[in-house]
Amino acid sequence: MRKPNNTQSSPKASAGFSLIELMVVLAIIAILVTLAIPNTKGRMTRGQIEESLSLLIDYQSQIQAHYKFTGEFPANNGTIGLPDPEKIVGNYMVAVTLADGALHIELGNKIAEGQSGRVVTIYPVYVPGSPMSPISWVCGLSAVPEGMTAAGENLTDIELAYLPMRCRY
Protein backbone atom coordinates (compact mmCIF):
# COMPACT_ATOMS: atom_id res chain seq x y z
CA MET A 1 0.00 0.00 0.00
CA ARG A 2 1.27 3.34 -0.96
CA LYS A 3 1.10 6.42 1.27
CA PRO A 4 -0.54 9.54 -0.13
CA ASN A 5 1.87 12.26 -1.10
CA ASN A 6 1.08 15.32 1.03
CA THR A 7 3.17 17.64 -1.13
CA GLN A 8 0.67 17.53 -3.98
CA SER A 9 -2.42 19.67 -3.75
CA SER A 10 -5.78 18.16 -4.35
CA PRO A 11 -7.37 18.78 -7.75
CA LYS A 12 -10.26 20.68 -6.19
CA ALA A 13 -7.97 23.27 -4.53
CA SER A 14 -6.38 24.33 -7.83
CA ALA A 15 -9.65 24.73 -9.73
CA GLY A 16 -9.76 28.57 -9.39
CA PHE A 17 -11.96 31.09 -7.61
CA SER A 18 -15.38 30.19 -6.34
CA LEU A 19 -18.44 32.08 -7.48
CA ILE A 20 -18.82 33.69 -4.05
CA GLU A 21 -15.25 35.00 -4.14
CA LEU A 22 -15.83 36.54 -7.57
CA MET A 23 -19.08 38.17 -6.43
CA VAL A 24 -17.36 39.71 -3.40
CA VAL A 25 -14.60 41.16 -5.59
CA LEU A 26 -17.15 42.56 -8.06
CA ALA A 27 -19.15 44.13 -5.22
CA ILE A 28 -16.03 45.84 -3.85
CA ILE A 29 -15.12 47.16 -7.31
CA ALA A 30 -18.69 48.48 -7.81
CA ILE A 31 -18.56 50.34 -4.48
CA LEU A 32 -15.20 51.91 -5.34
CA VAL A 33 -16.42 53.01 -8.77
CA THR A 34 -19.54 54.58 -7.23
CA LEU A 35 -17.42 56.56 -4.79
CA ALA A 36 -15.07 57.71 -7.54
CA ILE A 37 -17.80 59.17 -9.77
CA PRO A 38 -18.19 62.88 -8.94
CA ASN A 39 -21.57 64.41 -8.21
CA THR A 40 -21.93 66.22 -11.52
CA LYS A 41 -25.62 67.00 -10.98
CA GLY A 42 -24.85 69.00 -7.84
CA ARG A 43 -21.99 70.85 -9.47
CA MET A 44 -24.09 71.60 -12.54
CA THR A 45 -27.04 72.90 -10.48
CA ARG A 46 -24.76 75.12 -8.38
CA GLY A 47 -23.34 76.66 -11.56
CA GLN A 48 -26.83 77.26 -12.96
CA ILE A 49 -27.95 79.01 -9.77
CA GLU A 50 -24.75 81.06 -9.69
CA GLU A 51 -25.44 82.23 -13.26
CA SER A 52 -28.99 83.21 -12.29
CA LEU A 53 -27.71 85.19 -9.29
CA SER A 54 -25.27 87.08 -11.50
CA LEU A 55 -28.15 88.32 -13.66
CA LEU A 56 -29.56 90.23 -10.67
CA ILE A 57 -26.58 92.49 -9.98
CA ASP A 58 -28.22 95.52 -11.63
CA TYR A 59 -31.41 94.97 -9.64
CA GLN A 60 -29.41 94.78 -6.43
CA SER A 61 -27.90 98.20 -7.23
CA GLN A 62 -31.38 99.66 -7.82
CA ILE A 63 -32.62 98.24 -4.52
CA GLN A 64 -29.63 99.71 -2.68
CA ALA A 65 -30.13 103.12 -4.31
CA HIS A 66 -33.82 103.11 -3.36
CA TYR A 67 -32.92 102.29 0.25
CA LYS A 68 -30.28 105.05 0.42
CA PHE A 69 -32.75 107.58 -1.00
CA THR A 70 -35.93 106.62 0.92
CA GLY A 71 -34.65 104.70 3.95
CA GLU A 72 -36.92 101.78 3.02
CA PHE A 73 -36.55 98.73 0.86
CA PRO A 74 -38.85 98.52 -2.18
CA ALA A 75 -42.05 96.59 -1.59
CA ASN A 76 -42.39 94.98 -5.02
CA ASN A 77 -41.16 94.97 -8.63
CA GLY A 78 -43.23 98.04 -9.55
CA THR A 79 -41.83 100.18 -6.72
CA ILE A 80 -38.51 100.62 -8.52
CA GLY A 81 -39.73 100.01 -12.06
CA LEU A 82 -38.61 96.39 -12.47
CA PRO A 83 -40.45 94.26 -15.05
CA ASP A 84 -43.24 91.99 -13.84
CA PRO A 85 -41.85 88.85 -12.14
CA GLU A 86 -42.60 86.52 -15.09
CA LYS A 87 -40.84 88.93 -17.47
CA ILE A 88 -37.49 88.51 -15.67
CA VAL A 89 -36.29 85.22 -17.12
CA GLY A 90 -33.00 83.54 -17.89
CA ASN A 91 -31.56 80.21 -18.88
CA TYR A 92 -32.39 78.71 -15.50
CA MET A 93 -35.07 80.98 -14.03
CA VAL A 94 -38.68 81.68 -14.96
CA ALA A 95 -39.48 84.60 -12.65
CA VAL A 96 -37.92 87.02 -10.17
CA THR A 97 -40.17 88.55 -7.55
CA LEU A 98 -39.09 91.52 -5.44
CA ALA A 99 -40.73 91.55 -1.99
CA ASP A 100 -39.63 93.99 0.71
CA GLY A 101 -36.11 94.19 -0.70
CA ALA A 102 -35.62 90.45 -1.19
CA LEU A 103 -35.33 88.95 -4.67
CA HIS A 104 -36.94 85.52 -5.02
CA ILE A 105 -35.68 83.55 -8.02
CA GLU A 106 -38.04 80.87 -9.26
CA LEU A 107 -35.99 78.20 -11.01
CA GLY A 108 -37.09 76.65 -14.28
CA ASN A 109 -36.39 76.60 -18.03
CA LYS A 110 -33.17 74.57 -18.44
CA ILE A 111 -32.48 74.04 -14.72
CA ALA A 112 -31.30 70.56 -13.68
CA GLU A 113 -33.93 67.88 -13.36
CA GLY A 114 -35.96 68.02 -10.14
CA GLN A 115 -35.17 71.68 -9.39
CA SER A 116 -37.85 73.37 -11.48
CA GLY A 117 -40.25 75.43 -9.37
CA ARG A 118 -37.81 75.73 -6.48
CA VAL A 119 -36.91 79.17 -5.11
CA VAL A 120 -33.59 80.76 -4.15
CA THR A 121 -33.73 84.09 -2.32
CA ILE A 122 -31.08 86.79 -2.35
CA TYR A 123 -31.71 89.54 0.16
CA PRO A 124 -30.03 92.64 1.55
CA VAL A 125 -28.67 92.83 5.06
CA TYR A 126 -28.17 96.21 6.66
CA VAL A 127 -27.41 97.98 9.93
CA PRO A 128 -30.73 99.22 11.34
CA GLY A 129 -30.87 102.97 11.98
CA SER A 130 -27.74 103.60 9.94
CA PRO A 131 -28.72 104.16 6.29
CA MET A 132 -25.20 105.23 5.36
CA SER A 133 -23.69 101.93 6.49
CA PRO A 134 -22.97 99.57 3.59
CA ILE A 135 -25.55 97.04 2.48
CA SER A 136 -24.43 93.46 1.99
CA TRP A 137 -26.27 90.63 0.25
CA VAL A 138 -26.79 87.07 1.40
CA CYS A 139 -28.52 84.27 -0.41
CA GLY A 140 -30.08 80.93 0.28
CA LEU A 141 -29.27 79.50 3.68
CA SER A 142 -26.36 81.85 4.38
CA ALA A 143 -26.42 83.35 7.89
CA VAL A 144 -27.05 87.04 8.50
CA PRO A 145 -23.87 88.66 9.87
CA GLU A 146 -23.88 89.75 13.50
CA GLY A 147 -25.06 93.34 13.97
CA MET A 148 -27.04 93.32 10.73
CA THR A 149 -30.71 92.70 9.91
CA ALA A 150 -32.17 91.02 6.85
CA ALA A 151 -34.73 92.76 4.66
CA GLY A 152 -37.56 90.63 3.34
CA GLU A 153 -38.26 86.98 3.87
CA ASN A 154 -36.02 84.09 2.85
CA LEU A 155 -38.10 81.65 0.76
CA THR A 156 -35.23 79.39 -0.30
CA ASP A 157 -36.47 75.81 -0.59
CA ILE A 158 -33.65 74.10 -2.47
CA GLU A 159 -31.44 71.47 -0.84
CA LEU A 160 -28.16 72.63 0.67
CA ALA A 161 -26.12 70.38 -1.64
CA TYR A 162 -27.39 72.25 -4.71
CA LEU A 163 -26.69 75.77 -3.43
CA PRO A 164 -23.49 77.61 -4.40
CA MET A 165 -21.00 77.90 -1.52
CA ARG A 166 -21.80 81.57 -0.91
CA CYS A 167 -25.45 80.62 -0.31
CA ARG A 168 -24.76 77.87 2.22
CA TYR A 169 -23.17 79.34 5.35
Tens-digit pLDDT string for the chain (169 aa): 555 555 555 555 556 788 899 999 999 999 988 877 766 778 899 999 999 999 999 999 999 999 999 999 999 999 999 999 999 999 999 999 999 999 999 999 999 999 999 999 999 999 998 888 999 999 999 999 999 999 999 999 999 999 999 999 8
Q: What is the pTM of this model?
A: 0.78
Query: What secondary structure letter does DSSP report for 153?
Result: -
Query: What secondary structure letter does DSSP report for 71?
Result: S
CATH superfamily of 41-167: Glycoprotein, Type 4 Pilin (3.30.700.10)
What's the pLDDT score for residue 58? Answer: 96
State how far the Cα of 133 lies from the Cα of 125, in Å rounded to an integer: 10
- The C-alpha torsion from 41 through 47 and 53 to 58, rounded to 10°, is -150
In degrees, rounded to 5, the angle at the alpha carbon of residue 70 between the alpha carbons of residues 147 and 72 is 45
What's the pLDDT score for residue 57? Answer: 96
Q: Where are the domains of the chain?
A: 41-167
What's the pLDDT score for residue 131? Answer: 82
